Structure 1
Amino acid sequence: MVNIRIIEVAESTNTSLSQLLQNEQLPSGFMLLAKNQTHGRGQKGNIWESLQGENITATLLLKPQNLESADQFYLTMVVAIGIVDLLKGLAPEAQWSVKWPNDIYCADKKIAGILIENVIMGNDFGYCLAGIGLNVNQHKFLSDAPNPISLSMITGDIYDINTIAGQMSISILDRFSHLESGHTGKLRADYLNHLYLRGIPALFLYEGKTIKAEIQDVDIYGRLRLLRTDTREPIIAAFKEIKYLQ
C-alpha cells in the first residue's frame, strides 16, 4: 500500500519530514512529496533544481529492523536500485546506471539524485530519510548543472507525477523488503552491475592529482575501490576523497 502525503511547498522534503517526525509517529514506507521544493539539498551541499510540478521531489522514510549502523550503505543501494528498477520498466531501452555513490544516470546524463540522511542511536539504527529528486517532465534546466535529463526527454511522454511517485515508492520498498529479509547478496550484486564506468578506464581527481583508474568494487562501508591503470596500485576512497573528471 502506497503511503504518500502531498504538500504544496517545502524548502527541503528531508527537513520537512524530519520536523514531522518530532510530532507524529510515521510508519516505515511513508513518503512526503512536495509539489514545489525551494531549497532542495544534494550531496556536497549542492542545490537540486526542479521546476514546480514537473518533477518528483520527495523523501521516503525507512525504518530498518535488523540493520547495524556499520551496514548503512545498504540503504543507499536499496534506494538507488529501486529507482533503477522503476526507470528500466518505464524506458527499458535506455542505458541506466548508478554513479557512485547515489546519482542515477541515463547514459552520461543525470536524471536523479539521492540524499541519504541516517539517524543512528548508539549501535542501533533509528531511521533513514531518503531524499529523492527525479526529473520527470522538465525539459529546460536553468542551472549550470552540466548534464541533466528527464524521463520525458528520454521517452517523449508526459507523466503524472503522483503516479510515478507511487510507483517509485513501491519499487524502493520492494528492494527494502529484500534487505529486511537478509538478502543482501543480490542487492549488492545489482548495485555493482549497474555501477557507472565500472571496469572502464576513466579520469579521477585523487589527492590533488589527476589519475586514470578503473572502478572495481564498492565495499560494505560504501567506499569506492579502484585500480590505477598505470601503476596497478589499488585505491580505496570514501565519498569526497575522490572526484569523477568525466
Structure 2
Amino acid sequence: MKILKLTETASTNDVLLAHPAPPNGEIVVAIADYQTAGRGQAGNSWESERGKNLLFSILTCPQNIAIADQYVLSMAGALALKAALDRYTNHITLKWPNDIYWRDRKISGTLIETTVKGKRIDRCVYGIGLNVNQREFRSNAPNPVSLYNIIGRETPLEEMLDAVLRSFELYYRRAVEGDRDGICAEYNAALFRREGMHAYEDCATHERFEARISRVAPNGRLHLTDTQGLERTYWMKEVRFIV
C-alpha cells in the first residue's frame, strides 16, 4: 500500500483521480491535514477543523468487478469503516447509501468516484471524511458527531487511519475475490434502522411514508416494504430518511 501525505490540497479525490494507475493491484492512499474543497455526494461540502479529523482517499483498480455489482465496493468500504470504529465504541451502523452513523448522528461519509472500461470497473476512488477529534461543528449539517464527542477523549489520527486501512484491505480483497454474497449479507445486517418501521420521504413526489428496510441489493438499490405491504425500490437520491 502506497500512502501520499499532504499538508493541504483541494481534494484528495482529485489527487488520486489524476494519479497513474498503480501496478499489480496496489492500493494508493492520499491523506491531507486539510482540504480546501472537500466534497460529498451531489457536491455537498464536508466540514472539518484543520488537523482534527481524517480526510483521505483510497485508489483501487478492481478490474474484475462488473459494473452491475459496483455497489459491492461501496459496501466493502463502509464495512471497513464500521470495523475500525467498532474498536472504540458501540452503536455504529451503515446508513444507505454512503454514511456511517453512531446512533442517529453522522460520524463519517464517503464519496465514491469510478471509471469504467468496457463492462468492468477500471478504477475506484473512495473519498472518506471521518470525524475523529473535532469537538464542535459550526456548519448547518443537521447531525454531525465525532469520536471525541462519543468517547470523551482524543484518538491519534495515525492510529485510526491504520485501523481503517487494515480493515479496508481485508474487505476490499473479499470484494475483488468474489465474496459478493458474504459482503452483501454483512452490510445488510449492519444497516441503520434495519429493524422496524421508520419515516421516509419520496424525493420526487415529496410523499412521506413509513416503511421497513427489506434489503440493499448488490447494485445499490434500496428495497423498502411500506405499511400496506407494498415494496418500494429507490436509487440513491430518490428517497430521504427522516432523521
Q: Provide the TM-score with structure 2 as the length reference.
A: 0.94
Aligned with 2:36 (options 12, 18, 38): 38
Whether contact under 8 Å (2:2, 2:26) holds in the other structure is: no
Paired letter, 1:15: D
Give me the identity figure in percent.
33
CA displacement, residues 154-204 of structure 1 (integer Å, 9 cap, x when unaligned) = 112212212321221111111011112212222111100111112321111
Whether contact under 8 Å (2:40, 2:111) holds in the other structure is: yes
Report what 2:15 is aligned to.
16
Paired letter, 1:245: I
How far apart in 2 are the matches of 1:208 and 1:200? 22
Whether contact under 8 Å (1:60, 1:169) holds in the other structure is: no
How far apart in 2 are the matches of 1:199 and 1:234? 16
Report what 1:145 is aligned to.
141
CA displacement, residues 204-236 of structure 1 (integer Å, 9 cap, x when unaligned) = 11132111111110112101000111x211101
SS of alignment partner, residue 53 of structure 1: coil
Report what 1:118 is aligned to.
114
Mapping of 1:98-117 within 5 angstroms?
98-117=94-113
Aligned with 2:57 (options 42, 59, 62): 59
Report what 1:233 is aligned to.
230
CA RMSD of aligned residues (A): 1.4
Aligned with 1:192 (options 188, 193, 216): 188
Whether contact under 8 Å (2:63, 2:123) holds in the other structure is: no
1:89: how far off? Answer: 1.5
| Count of residues paired in the alignment | 240
Aligned with 1:180 (options 176, 179, 183): 176
Mapping of 1:72-111 within 5 angstroms?
72-91=70-89, 94-111=90-107
Whether contact under 8 Å (1:192, 1:218) holds in the other structure is: yes
- Structure 1: 5+ residue runs without aligned partners? none
CA displacement, residues 17-75 of structure 1 (integer Å, 9 cap, x when unaligned) = 11233xx7465321000110111111122101011100000000111142111110001
Superposed structure 1 runs of 4+ greater than 4 Å apart: 24-27
Paired letter, 1:177: R
Whether contact under 8 Å (1:199, 1:216) holds in the other structure is: no
Paired letter, 1:242: V
- In the alignment, structure 1 residue 6 sits paired with structure 2 residue 16: no
Report what 1:203 is aligned to.
199
Report what 2:151 is aligned to.
155
Whether contact under 8 Å (2:22, 2:28) holds in the other structure is: no
- In the alignment, structure 1 residue 29 sits paired with structure 2 residue 22: no
Whether contact under 8 Å (1:4, 1:166) holds in the other structure is: no
SS of alignment partner, residue 14 of structure 1: helix
Q: Provide the TM-score with structure 1 as the length reference.
A: 0.93
Whether contact under 8 Å (1:227, 1:235) holds in the other structure is: yes
How far apart in 1 are the matches of 2:177 and 2:87? 24
